[in-house]
Amino acid sequence: MTVWQRVELRMHGARLEVAALEWDWVEAQLVGAGTYWTTSTTSGRAHPRPVWGVWQGDRLYLSVGTPATLQALMADPAVTVHLDSGTDVVIVEGRVESASTDASVIAAYDAKYDWHYDLATYGPLQCVRADAVLAWQAKGWAGREGIGRTGRWMYLEDPSPRHGGS
């Protein structure tokens, strides 16, 4: 059983007194996203790239494609993934843990994008294990009216009863 433990999200170094964002909303954003902005590190610089992917079974599977990004992730598997919105924000912090050729994941990818993902052409999808997921909903244009709801979750490998739930 997978467990996401809610932990405090501090912004600008301070605790926010706002409503809690529900995990179901966050997961819906991860499932429904068309583009995932990945950031890896190459030659000491951040290397952001938009890629396609699927969120399935508490893992994010990405079609990275570009050789520079793939090389960077092989050298340092730490990755940050951000969805498109700057006001309905979802950020995944994690690590590329493996390359995947899993048929069910490829089928989900194909269905999502109405595409045929050819492993021989594009290579395996990169499987990201999330260590933390941060999310918030800002109010007003560009968030200028503040933050409405927030959430931060840590992925627990050991879902023993002492950890609480989502």
Predicted TM-score of the model (pTM): 0.84
At 108-137, the pLDDT tens digits run 999 999 999 999 999 999 999 999 999 988
At 31-82, the pLDDT tens digits run 999 999 998 777 777 778 899 999 998 899 999 877 878 888 888 888 999 9
Burial of 41 (0-12, 13-18, 19+ CB in 10 A): middle
What are the sequence ranges of the domains in the chain? Answer: 3-156
CATH classification code of 3-156: 2.30.110.10
CA distance 70 to 112: 23
Asked if 57 contacts 125 with a C-beta cutoff of 8 angstroms, the reply is no
CB atoms within 10 A of CB 10: 11
CA distance 67 to 39: 14
The β-bridge partners of 128 are 60, 96
CA distance 134 to 21: 10
Asked if 77 contacts 23 with a C-beta cutoff of 8 angstroms, the reply is no
Question: What number of helices (H) and strands (E) belong to the chain?
Answer: 4, 11
